[in-house]
């Protein structure tokens, strides 16, 4: 198949290009910018690591893109695909969108959390949320989940779907490496600031909060809210979500373990850590999500720890997993099955 990437120069787009370049079912990768007036550029001029890849990044042309490709990936900033999605939705053309523009079904919620103009409600209704372990999409427009949302939802799914916890008790302490903030330089991304440092950010304001809540409510409508805090830590890539909740009466360690095993026993990219606890290093450069859990009998609190590589399972890796589902391929194709270690 031929695949198009729109927005290859960001971190997620770069990792996506790496994965598709090694995907056995992808014959050609065509690169495009997201502006039709932009001058042609070349990949090796934009990304120094690809100095041997003299591949043109062409101006945006929706007709040309759909004519030359079998699937389109958007790895663009928020606010871009909301303006570009309509022709693909009208044609039912295969799209996997790594931006957040099509994840939320309520345009008002998008405007509130992203502070940008939303796509129309009828477009949002057609997009399908592609949490790959639970929502297999075979055609149309896939809204690829956010990184924090992926880690949090995979950690909470057994607890929510099996109704094991008080739905009003969910607290998530999520930590992310610096690549999650993207390539744009900010004060908090300077080495002198983040090295040997840690800082909460977007407290009660992170755009993945409504995305998480939207999916949780599809699993259990009684979930009304969650406390969700994000913290920047001095690593390049990776997310660790520490999830706390109060168990319902009668829930013990045995029932917890049974719920995780039933939910993920046959999942290729979710690994259950039963001895010890997951760490970011152990999923680095892979599409795995590692999960560990425990019930503290003293505080009567469940802890679930979920770790992912934010650029892989949290972005490009899950996008390729969704590609494999869409074209009915083995879901592991093009994805490394061994993490980078050490």
- What is d(CA 296, CA 130) in angstroms, rounded to the nearest whole number? 33
Buried b (16+ CB within 10 A) or exposed e, 107-118: bebbeebbebeb
Pair 20, 3: CB distance under 8 Å = yes
Q: What is the dihedral of CA 17, 18, 24, 25, to 10 degrees?
A: -10
**What does the pLDDT read at residue 189?**
82
The CATH label, of 3.40.50.620, 3.40.630.30, 3.40.1670.10, 3.30.360.10, for the domain at 148-310 is 3.30.360.10
**What does the pLDDT read at residue 199?**
92
Domain 2-144+313-326 CATH superfamily: NAD(P)-binding Rossmann-like Domain (3.40.50.720)
Please state the pTM of the whole predicted model. Answer: 0.96
**pLDDT tens string for the chain (342 positions)?**
999 999 999 999 999 999 999 999 999 999 999 987 767 789 998 888 898 989 999 999 999 999 999 999 999 999 999 999 999 999 999 999 999 999 999 999 999 999 999 999 999 999 999 999 999 999 999 999 999 999 999 999 999 999 999 999 999 999 999 988 777 778 778 888 889 999 999 999 999 999 999 999 999 999 999 999 999 999 999 999 999 999 999 999 999 999 999 999 999 999 999 989 999 999 999 999 999 999 999 999 999 999 999 999 999 999 999 999 999 999 999 999 999 988
Residue entry with tokens 């319902």: 248
Contacts of 261 (CB under 8 A, 6+ apart): 272
**What does the pLDDT read at residue 180?**
85
Report, as residue numbers or ranges, the catalytic residues.
Answer: 147
Strand order in the sheet with 301-308: 199-201, 227-232, 171-176, 239-245, 301-308, 289-296, 270-272
Q: Taking the domains of the chain in order of start, what are their residue ranges?
A: 2-144+313-326, 148-310
């Amino acid at each position: 198949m031929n695949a198009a990437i729109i927005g290859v120069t960001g971190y997620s787009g770069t990792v996506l290009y790496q994965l598709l370049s090694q995907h056995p079912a992808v014959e050609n990768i065509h690169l495009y910018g997201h502006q039709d007036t932009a001058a042609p550029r070349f990949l090796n001029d934009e990304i120094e690591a690809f100095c041997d890849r003299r591949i043109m990044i062409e101006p945006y042309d929706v007709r040309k893109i759909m004519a030359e490709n079998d699937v389109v990936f958007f790895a663009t900033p928020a606010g871009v695909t909301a303006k570009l999605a309509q022709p693909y939705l009208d044609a039912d053309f295969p799209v996997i969108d790594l931006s957040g523009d099509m994840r939320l079904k309520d345009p008002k919620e998008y405007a509130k959390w992203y502070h940008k103009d939303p796509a129309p409600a009828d477009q949002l209704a057609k997009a399908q949320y592609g949490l790959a372990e639970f929502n297999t999409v075979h055609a149309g427009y896939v809204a690829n989940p956010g990184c924090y949302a992926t880690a949090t939802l995979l950690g909470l799914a057994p607890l929510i779907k099996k109704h094991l916890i008080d739905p009003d008790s969910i607290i998530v302490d999520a930590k992310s490496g610096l690549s999650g903030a993207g390539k744009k330089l900010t004060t908090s991304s300077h080495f002198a600031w983040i090295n040997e440092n840690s800082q909460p950010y977007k407290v009660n304001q992170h755009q993945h909060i409504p995305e998480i809540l939207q999916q949780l409510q599809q699993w259990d409508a009684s979930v009304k809210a969650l406390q969700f805090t994000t913290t920047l830590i001095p690593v390049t890539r990776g997310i660790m979500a520490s999830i706390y909740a109060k168990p319902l009466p009668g829930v013990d360690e045995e029932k917890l373990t049974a719920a995780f095993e039933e939910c993920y026993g046959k999942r290729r990219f979710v690994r259950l850590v039963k001895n010890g606890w997951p760490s970011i290093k152990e999923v680095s450069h892979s599409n795995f999500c590692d999960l560990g859990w425990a019930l503290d009998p003293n505080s009567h609190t469940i802890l679930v720890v979920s770790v992912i590589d934010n650029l892989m399972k949290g972005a490009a890796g899950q996008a390729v997993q969704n590609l494999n589902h869409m074209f009915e391929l083995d879901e592991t194709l093009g994805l490394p099955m061994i993490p980078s270690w050490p």
